[in-house]
Amino acid sequence: MTEKYLKLKDQATVYIDKLYQNKLVIKVQTGTSGQALGADEILNTLITKADKKTTILEVGSMGFMYLEPIIVVYQNDNKFYYGNVTKSIAEDVFDHYQNNENFYEENCFAYESDETISTKIPKLDDLPQFSKQLRIATRNFGEITPGDLFQYIAKDGYSALNKALFEMKPEDVLEEVKNSGLRGRGGAAFPTGLKWSFLAPSAAPVKYVLCNSEEGDPGAFNDKGILETDPHTLVEGLILNGYATNSTHSYVFIRQGHDIPINAVERAIKEAYNNGILGKNILGSNFNFEMEVSLTGDSYVAGEETALMEAIEGKRSTPRFKPPFPAASGLWKKPTNINNVKTISYVPEIIKHGSEWFKGTGTEKSTGTAIVCLTGHLKRPGMYEIPMGMTINEVLTDLGGGSNSSDIKMLQTGGPLGGVLGKDAFDTKIDFDEMSQAGAILGSGGIIVCDESVSVVDLIRNLVAFNQFESCGKCFPCRLGNTHMLDVLERLCNSKSKPDDLKLLERIGNSMKIGSLCGHGQLGFNPISSALKYFEQEIMTAVNNNSEPLEKMYTPTRTRPGELE
């Protein structure tokens, strides 16, 4: 280790020793889902009650959204996890451990210890929703304070950057990422190392690496989950990205209004600058790299890479014509790469442990892990990092706990431009290629679970309504096509369909695929085509007017792109 990094490690050790000097430490998980249920109030209450013998820490979520708010008690080398905590329960837990060393059982869902605490409470590793995960990008979830540099370094943070800067050449880092088989986690699943290799040869004095965290997909929250829980993982990955491609600047692109992840990333960047990890001569090396956060308005299409660059430049978020491709002429006409949050967050561990280590997990063509967001009719909705190759059924039952109502009927995966899967596809592996063959995409990792009460026709109407509302309007096949498809689906849902409506939908979808600049129009027919593959009979029943009008799940607030609300 270099002198600069060793000094930071020493500072981190002193800092952590001070944080954990008390026998009683309580961590409050304050991610977005926790805060929505009162985690902030719980944190403030415990801080007010604490004395010099107790440490109260704010940490990010561990991903168990169904148990939020969660607090974790550290006492005598034991860790006790309490879920669905209210202010009153938090006070009871605090008062108990202030005055007792025996175990407090109420609301405890798991513990970590070498001994058995209670036959009623399982050890954390015995919970399938934890033990069946493999946490790489999410390795620090629920453990550290978001944006706290020294807590991150105490968990071996920035050791990969130190290794790269002083033991590897930029081309070595690039080759390691390429050899790992890492593919983009934003939806397209393009090989990351190959994408970086398009940018690296450019000798331009200014080059950009951008991180896309627009994340507008309904049902996906893993990008912002990383940002609000462990933002230094992203910062370290972006610096490694810059080093490998000989780039000079980076922007983290986040939708305006998401204050929790925005504040966490801004804190991480500030602390990195203050400690010589960003800016000039990083960690005492000759490498210089700048980073900042860029915000966008409420635009789903801003997640498309060229529309993202338009937004950073202060323009309306619409896609550009290609070529030129971003690696040749991107942000402000400078060579540019764009990657997803999850993609970049794997890089530090790949460089630390090596590409062969990463390839040891997953499948041949989909290496590593997937971070999935489970929502809908499930007992245990949340965010889980699983090895690629696990089947959808395993994810739904072992991690999600199965349906919380009637049988699971279908899934919607990969965002509103993804697909609808029926039971016949539940044995499909979580794998980029297998899911594509099944008629869906892994995409951003969102999996919305629907039980028997949900109409497939109304589900696809809901998805198309979202796509129609979010079309930027630049390409008329997308602008008009989504509107026309929504009109047809409205007829189906109101028992007013016409005999050729399905053929009309297909014709519109093909026109959108051929004539649209970006994936928003090109993939707009996906929800319908995949639903037809698994639920043709139910859709035909709607076409034949044999059903009562359906109650709408969602009604857009405007009916044409660009129309005032």
Q: Are 34 and 62 in contact (CB under 8 A)?
A: no
The CB density around residue 253, as the number of other CB atoms within 10 Å, is 23
Instruction: Decide if 316 contacts 306 (C-beta within 8 A).
Output: no
553 pLDDT higher than 70? no
Q: Per-domain residue ranges for the chain?
A: 21-123, 157-359, 369-451, 456-543
The whole-angstrom separation of Cα 523 and Cα 508 is 12
Region 113-139: mean pLDDT is 94
What mean pLDDT do residues 362-390 have? Answer: 97
Q: pLDDT confidence of 549, banded at 50, 70, 90?
A: low
Q: Do domains 21-123 and 456-543 have the same CATH topology?
A: no
Nearest to 312 by CA among 209, 206, 203, 198: 209
Average pLDDT (71-99) is: 96
Write the single-letter amino acid at 484: H
What CATH number does the domain located at 369-451 have?
Answer: 3.10.20.600
Return the CATH number of 21-123, one of 3.40.50.2300, 3.40.630.10, 1.25.40.10, 3.40.30.10: 3.40.30.10
Per-residue pLDDT band at 187 (split at 50, 70, 90):
confident
- Domain 456-543 in CATH 3.40.30.10? The answer is no
- Asked whether the predicted pLDDT for residue 558 surpasses 80, the reply is no
% residues pLDDT > 70 (the chain): 96
* Domain spanning 157-359, CATH architecture: 3-Layer(aba) Sandwich (3.40)
CA 417/CA 525 separation, integer angstroms: 8
Query: What letter represents residue 439's amino acid?
Result: G
Question: Which 8-state DSSP code applies to residue 51?
Answer: -
Of the candidate ranges 21-25, 274-278, 357-361, 560-564, the one whose mean pLDDT is the lowest: 560-564
Query: Which of 85, 92, 87, 139 lies closest to 109 in space, CA to CA?
Result: 85
